[in-house]
Structure formats: structure tokens, C-alpha cells
Amino acid sequence: MKAENIFDSIPEELNKEMFDVLAQNEKITIERIVSKGHTSPDVGWYDQEKSEWVMVLKGGATIGFEDNDDIELNAGDHLTILPHVKHRVCWTTPGIETVWLAVHY
């Protein structure tokens, strides 16, 4: 057993978003996502089979929804996205890392 810090091991250069699975079993996946000015692809939406609870730990982001208003998230803000609610990341803070904690269940 070893304690780790969610803010460790983040490279200086991020050419694309970084996804790290922190814990997983057949029902739940917990991951760290690191963005640095990254957004979702211009075409298409995330349309997930599972619910996702997401929290911004550092930085900021805007999540857009196909059928609702955009939601701005800052450090400490969290949100539950239900299955098949189409969404995308419209903006993340450029120049600094946005660190997310995501739980897929």
C-alpha cells in the first residue's frame, strides 16, 4: 500500500488531455483527468452508458450540454452527468492544468 498525491506526475507539456485510472472494478471507475486548455473534439458529443460525477480540483472548465445551458466549473465545483446526457468540454483554463476527479458508476 502506498499513498499518492493527485497533483503529482503531471508533465509540463500536455499535447492532449491526460486520463489516469486511479481505481476500478466492474461497477465503478475513478479517474484523474488533466486538461490544459484542451476541449472535446469539435464534432460529436460524449454519450456515456454510465453516470459520471466530476469535480474540478484545480483550474476551471465549461461543460456544454446538447439540451441545456453550459455549466462553468471552478476549483471545488462538482456535477453529476446522468447516462446518455450528451455533453462536451467547451473550455478549460489555458496555461495551467485543470485537474478533474471523475467517478463513472
Rounded to 5 degrees, φ, ψ at 87 are -150, 165
pLDDT for position 62:
98
DSSP assignment of 3-61:
---TTSS--S--SS-EEEEEEE-SS-EEEEEEESS----SS--B--SS-EEEEEEESEE
pLDDT for position 43:
84
pLDDT for position 41:
85
pTM for this predicted structure: 0.92
Domain locations along the chain = 18-104
- What is the CATH number assigned to the segment(s) 18-104? 2.60.120.10
Largest separation between any pair of C-alpha atoms in the chain:
44
Say yes or no to pLDDT of 101 above 90. yes
Whether 79 contacts 73, CB under 8 Å: yes
Cα 30 from chain centroid? 11
| Residues 29-75: tens digit of each pLDDT | 999 999 999 999 888 899 999 999 999 999 999 999 998 899 999 99
pLDDT for position 35:
97
